[in-house]
Structure 1
Amino acid sequence: MAFPYIFPLTEPWHWMHIHKSYKILIGTCKIKQATDAIARPLMVGGGEDFFDPKDCNNGDENHDPRAQIVVESEYKGKIIDEMEDQEKGREEIELIDRIKEKRRKEMLPQKNELNEKLRSVWDKSYYSLDSNIHRTITSQEEYQKSVVKNDSSLTENEKNFLLNKIQKLYDAYRIGNSSVEKQQCNNCRNWYQATQYCEFCIRKYLENNFGNWKSGNNEIDKLIQECQQKTIAPDAVIEWIEYDQFENIEHLTKGGYAIIYTAIWNHGYYNEWDSQKQTLNRLGGQKIVLKRFNNSNNNNVNWFQEVILSFTLDITSTFLAKCFGLTKDPTTQDYMLVLNYYQNDLRHFLKDNFHSLTLLQKYQTIGQIADSLYRIHERDTMHRDLHSGNILYLAPVFSWYISDLGLSGPIEKPSNSIYGNLPYIAPEVLCGEIYTTKSDIYSMGILMWEVITGETPFDDYEHDLELTLDIVKGCRPTIYEYIPRGYAILMKQCWNADPGNRPVALIVKEKMKILIKLLYDDDEKNESKNFKSKIKNFFKSKSKKNRNSQVITNTQLSKNTKSKIYRVQNSKLYTFNIPNKPRNATDEEQQAFDSKQFDLEISEDMEQHYLKSIENNNPHDDREFGIAGPSNSGSQFQP
């Protein structure tokens, strides 16, 4: 038994000492003011030498106030717990609840914590999936989950994080594709298709809030309400957002038909459904992008086309730049799209990170873009201005999204003009033919070249007309010897002069998936591991040729930013009258075109700088997605 604490009670302050130490309201020696339930466990012994509550008679002058209280240590914890439970106020309870909730969240992975290791497992679960074996949605979902569950490199928290992401992905897919697999909601009794929420309850919640917002435009109100009645996920809700919800609005860039700003959205978007409270919860303050449509306040409604496509084309929010809704500048009366903020675009990302990318990472980038383009074409839509400035990068999840879809030029674009980024415009469009999905495929071929080489296509042309004529004659970017053969064949098919000979987006997507799967096979590892050495050897061989020809130094390049070297094109209006029909270049013509690109040689200091950048980069295993951090130099959009 623990040694007891003994206090001689000779003065009133001794009682206050007990009160302070054990939170027992005793006051002075008139112990009857305390309850027997509290006092008796503190008292042991009896007789005249020990204090007993029944001996404390009120008003008894002969009563000896001296007493001894013996507190056994095993009672101490029990009494303190009882007293604290009785005396806790609302603030104390809330504080404890907050601490518990904080600890619970600390046990979970952080939001968007899709690091290199998790991305590798995620990709493995996808690329190893055989749709011929796993034919149903449920079977495919269970397979991907099994890959995650059986991965010994993951912690339980990491597994739960990936399993939750897989679940959300398949929930959105089930609703978006009208899956026959359904279950009945206990609340609304509808048969819903998701597993983590009831889409009908979410839609009812949004419908009940129709009266709480107005845009001032009946057509916009109707469009947003229709979108909300088709909502398939808590984080895919289209809203009318009041302009006063945005703070720190800053100009980012300006194009031919839109002005881009960044801002902080105080409330943030809806991100989860509380099935118990039957409410949507918001993320909280977040950085977003505002895209202002110039002259959208007039009677010209062409700008509305992009709004409709942004709202309706990707209801799953999985392949287009995420759109949250619409707002209106009260000063200019211009409408503005509210979009997710992305850290970089493909053009600047390649400039900053190319030498650290593995072959697998480059293939995965093109694979994601091809998949997104397929989904756009699947919905009978064309992009019309696909280039590396319109492919946006979301760093936390290593994903790429297509942006700026639908408008393709200024609101008052002349009917006989072409709007686009010249190196990516298909030759038949340059010759005045109508734009088709195969025109997008041509742009895809140019993107494939840009990603595999890290170079800007046709950046050595001074004049637009000269480049246009060469494209129509069949001249294409040089296919370097280090480019893998299978990839090069697909790339050439995409930029064929005859649209009929170009593959559809589905074929591009599936062929890229095959190429990626091959890199996961042991037999194909050598090609991936040797990719950087092939580039290195190629660079050495080219830099040593014709040392007597004109040499460009690194200093000259940095100063001469307006020269034709590294000239970067942006989308703009073109008006051409070209009588020729597009054709493929002959081998001799292509060789002559290729040779022009090496007329200006690279100096030794630039060569050493290039090789050092490769050697200093610690190459990752190709199963990882080790991408360097994004640069701030990239813009959110290249209108």
Structure 2
Amino acid sequence: MSNIRDDVVWAALNRSRVLFDYNIHNDIHKQFEFRKQVLLSDKSLTKDEKDHAIRFLNETYDREKVRDNSGKRRICENCNQKCFATLFCEYCIRNHLKENFSNWSSGNDNIDNLIQKCQMEAIEPKRIIEYIPYNKLQNIKYLTKGGFSEIYTAIWTDGYYIKWDSKEKQLERLGTQEVILKKLENVENANLSWFEETRSHLSISNKWSRIVECYGITRKPSERNYMLVLNEMEMNLREYLQQNHYQLTWKERIQIIHAPEVITRKQTTKASDIYSVGMLMWEISSGYPPFIDYEHDYYLATKIVNGMRPRIVPGTPLEYRNLMVQCWDADPSKRPDASTLWNKILKIYKLNEPDQLEIHGSFTSKVYQFEIFSEPKNETEEEQKYDDFNKSNIWKNHNASIISNVFKVVNAKLSKILERNLKNDVQNDYKVATMSQHTNEIHNNPNLHSEEQNKLEIPDKIDNIDNI
């Protein structure tokens, strides 16, 4: 039996991350060295636990060095190439995958080429995209309709790759694993736009741990449509907010907002994405879906186009409020770009004195899409007095208690949400509830993220995107 106390190790890993200063430790190498020293000096850990924690830190550091093509290289003892990783060799892994190209096929040359390209860019064992034979999936059950895509649960008998054995020169798998299957509609008959969406999704998941893992693609032999094979998440953002608002600090709420960084990695940004982040910020601050006591119909859409926005929750930190309002400005040109948005969120996250709100609720929302309306405008302060937040009976008994100083860097209480956000890459070792966007999305594109996102609300499920 292991003597490793997982909760203690994880708390120490959290502390090591929260403590470093982005202004001082401004690259992955400085951050790694700082966190390593923090862990080594942590008196709450035994020697074995320190070794355990530092191994996880090394895994993260290896992945980031390979991804960023940065850091000190070493000579691999097997292939003699100069590699960045220390726990594995990225070149050995890629060569191994390349040698296996002839042993599988999806039945579609475009998909085969896409998967092969992803494999030749693999940055670690846990981030390998592959074609998964349908017979490796068992107990397949229909779950829901996500947007226009059918969602299924399944058991993947092999599981994803977790380790490179340098002696045997083989990749080792996790073993039996629960996954989500998302059907890609009309793949054979559609133009290549679906393929570009799929390519972006797989490529980003292949490199960035802040995205819900996509393990690859599968296809039922008797059907024409392919399916994405995704990591199964246990809880969506909305459910988590409803269950945990009494415990969430403002630091932890701000830590939930990850979409801006993901968008930054894509290089191009749509103003509608920034608008949706503003709505997401409001839901995080309140614990409720926006416009919960309105019918989601034409009339609500008209009100929004005419400037109505959710009323700001009392106690919301000023910096957070200002950023949220800027994100949902009616004029897209006045919304921050993705880089600015992420930097401002990071700045707010590092502040020392935001407040904690105690909010709870159990509400769901539906999606309404609009296309043709008059030019959007911003609501006046007078108009905002009469919006849904002010009218809602739900809030009559709402008592928002303010707890100061919970946003300080050294926070004795590290909540589950912070743990999950930082723990995405090792979630199969430390089982925690996480959020996913893949079981009920609201995108226009039936397969993946649409280029034109003109929705009134946020998705019911979003990604975890913080790495350890």
Category of TM-score, reference length = shorter chain: 0.7 to 0.9
Query: Aligned with 2:118: secondary structure?
Result: helix
Q: Which structure: greater helix fraction?
A: 1
Alignment-derived partner of residue 495 in structure 1: 328
Alignment-derived partner of residue 180 in structure 2: 289
Counterpart-to-counterpart distance in 2, 1:602 and 1:301: 47
Counterpart of 2:380 (choices 570, 586, 605) is: 586
TM-score by length of 2: 0.81
Counterpart-to-counterpart distance in 1, 2:346 and 2:103: 46
> For the Cα contact (< 8 Å) 1:118–1:158, is it kept in 2?
yes
> For the Cα contact (< 8 Å) 1:148–1:159, is it kept in 2?
yes
Counterpart-to-counterpart distance in 1, 2:323 and 2:138: 46
Alignment-derived partner of residue 233 in structure 2: 342
Alignment-derived partner of residue 463 in structure 2: none
> For the Cα contact (< 8 Å) 1:268–1:285, is it kept in 2?
yes
Alignment of 1:245-394 (within 5 A): 245-366=136-257, 369-370=258-259, 373-382=260-269
Q: Deviations over 1:416-471 (max 9, x none)?
A: xxxxxxxxxxxxxxxxxxxx2x3211111111110111011011222522222222
Alignment-derived partner of residue 191 in structure 1: 82
Counterpart-to-counterpart distance in 1, 2:343 and 2:106: 43
User: Structure 2 counterpart of 1:624, which letter?
Assistant: K
User: Structure 1 counterpart of 2:393, which letter?
Assistant: E
Asked if residue 627 in structure 1 is aligned to residue 419 in structure 2, the reply is no
User: Structure 1 counterpart of 2:274, which letter?
Assistant: I
User: Structure 2 counterpart of 1:473, which letter?
Assistant: N
User: Structure 1 counterpart of 2:134, which letter?
Assistant: Y
Counterpart-to-counterpart distance in 1, 2:268 and 2:436: 27
Q: Residue 631 and residue 236 in structure 1: after superposition, are their counterparts in 2 closer, same or farther (change >3 A)?
A: closer
Question: Displacement of 1:584 after TM fit?
Answer: 1.7
Larger Rg: 1
Alignment-derived partner of residue 285 in structure 2: 452
Quote the sequence identity (%).
36
Question: Displacement of 1:377 after TM fit?
Answer: 2.8
User: Structure 1 counterpart of 2:415, which letter?
Assistant: G
> For the Cα contact (< 8 Å) 1:313–1:376, is it kept in 2?
no
Question: Displacement of 1:575 after TM fit?
Answer: 4.9
Query: Aligned with 2:345: secondary structure?
Result: helix
Q: Residue 335 and residue 178 in structure 1: after superposition, are their counterparts in 2 closer, same or farther (change >3 A)?
A: same
Residue ranges of structure 2 left out of the alignment (5+ in a row): 418-430, 442-468
Counterpart-to-counterpart distance in 1, 2:48 and 2:281: 37
Query: Aligned with 1:303: secondary structure?
Result: helix
Q: Residue 357 and residue 447 in structure 1: after superposition, are their counterparts in 2 closer, same or farther (change >3 A)?
A: same
Q: Residue 581 and residue 269 in structure 1: after superposition, are their counterparts in 2 closer, same or farther (change >3 A)?
A: same
Asked if residue 568 in structure 1 is aligned to residue 365 in structure 2, the reply is yes
Residue ranges of structure 1 left out of the alignment (5+ in a row): 1-102, 383-435, 540-553, 559-565
Q: Residue 633 and residue 190 in structure 1: after superposition, are their counterparts in 2 closer, same or farther (change >3 A)?
A: closer
Question: Displacement of 1:121 after TM fit?
Answer: 3.2
User: Structure 1 counterpart of 2:382, which letter?
Assistant: E
Question: Displacement of 1:236 after TM fit?
Answer: 0.7
Counterpart-to-counterpart distance in 2, 1:285 and 1:308: 26
User: Structure 1 counterpart of 2:256, which letter?
Assistant: T
Counterpart-to-counterpart distance in 2, 1:602 and 1:227: 48
Question: Displacement of 1:335 after TM fit?
Answer: 0.4
Question: Displacement of 1:275 after TM fit?
Answer: 0.9
Alignment-derived partner of residue 18 in structure 2: 127
Asked if residue 601 in structure 1 is aligned to residue 393 in structure 2, the reply is yes
Counterpart-to-counterpart distance in 2, 1:600 and 1:583: 23
Q: Residue 269 and residue 631 in structure 1: after superposition, are their counterparts in 2 closer, same or farther (change >3 A)?
A: closer
Q: Deviations over 1:518-540 (max 9, x none)?
A: 34xxxx3xx54xx34xx58xx9x
User: 1 or 2 for the larger relative contact order (CA 8 Å, sep ≥6)?
Assistant: 2
User: Structure 1 counterpart of 2:334, which letter?
Assistant: N
Q: Residue 439 and residue 299 in structure 1: after superposition, are their counterparts in 2 closer, same or farther (change >3 A)?
A: closer
> For the Cα contact (< 8 Å) 2:291–2:389, is it kept in 1?
no
Asked if residue 473 in structure 1 is aligned to residue 306 in structure 2, the reply is yes
> For the Cα contact (< 8 Å) 1:297–1:335, is it kept in 2?
no
Question: Displacement of 1:251 after TM fit?
Answer: 0.9
> For the Cα contact (< 8 Å) 1:227–1:312, is it kept in 2?
yes
> For the Cα contact (< 8 Å) 2:14–2:414, is it kept in 1?
no
Counterpart-to-counterpart distance in 1, 2:70 and 2:435: 43
Q: Deviations over 1:82-105 (max 9, x none)?
A: xxxxxxxxxxxxxxxxxxxxx6xx
> For the Cα contact (< 8 Å) 1:234–1:280, is it kept in 2?
yes
Counterpart-to-counterpart distance in 2, 1:351 and 1:600: 17
Counterpart-to-counterpart distance in 2, 1:262 and 1:567: 22
Counterpart-to-counterpart distance in 2, 1:623 and 1:211: 53
Q: Residue 499 and residue 260 in structure 1: after superposition, are their counterparts in 2 closer, same or farther (change >3 A)?
A: same
Counterpart-to-counterpart distance in 2, 1:219 and 1:630: 36
Question: Displacement of 1:285 after TM fit?
Answer: 0.6
> For the Cα contact (< 8 Å) 2:311–2:390, is it kept in 1?
no
Asked if residue 144 in structure 1 is aligned to residue 31 in structure 2, the reply is no
Query: Aligned with 1:450: secondary structure?
Result: helix
Asked if residue 170 in structure 1 is aligned to residue 3 in structure 2, the reply is no
Counterpart-to-counterpart distance in 1, 2:436 and 2:263: 25
Query: Aligned with 2:127: secondary structure?
Result: coil
Q: Residue 267 and residue 227 in structure 1: after superposition, are their counterparts in 2 closer, same or farther (change >3 A)?
A: same
Question: Displacement of 1:353 after TM fit?
Answer: 2.3
Counterpart-to-counterpart distance in 2, 1:330 and 1:602: 50
User: Structure 2 counterpart of 1:243, which letter?
Assistant: Y
Counterpart-to-counterpart distance in 2, 1:299 and 1:476: 37
Q: Deviations over 1:313-370 (max 9, x none)?
A: 232241111011111011222201111111111112212222232333212212xx14
Q: Residue 171 and residue 603 in structure 1: after superposition, are their counterparts in 2 closer, same or farther (change >3 A)?
A: closer
Query: Aligned with 2:304: secondary structure?
Result: helix
Question: Displacement of 1:207 after TM fit?
Answer: 1.0
Query: Aligned with 1:440: secondary structure?
Result: helix
Query: Aligned with 1:220: secondary structure?
Result: helix
Question: Displacement of 1:630 after TM fit?
Answer: 8.1
TM-score by length of 1: 0.61
Query: Aligned with 2:207: secondary structure?
Result: coil
Aligned pairs, number? 422
- Over the residues paired in the alignment, what is the CA RMSD in angstroms? 3.1
Question: Displacement of 1:633 after TM fit?
Answer: 12
Alignment-derived partner of residue 385 in structure 1: none
Alignment-derived partner of residue 509 in structure 1: 342
Question: Displacement of 1:120 after TM fit?
Answer: 4.1
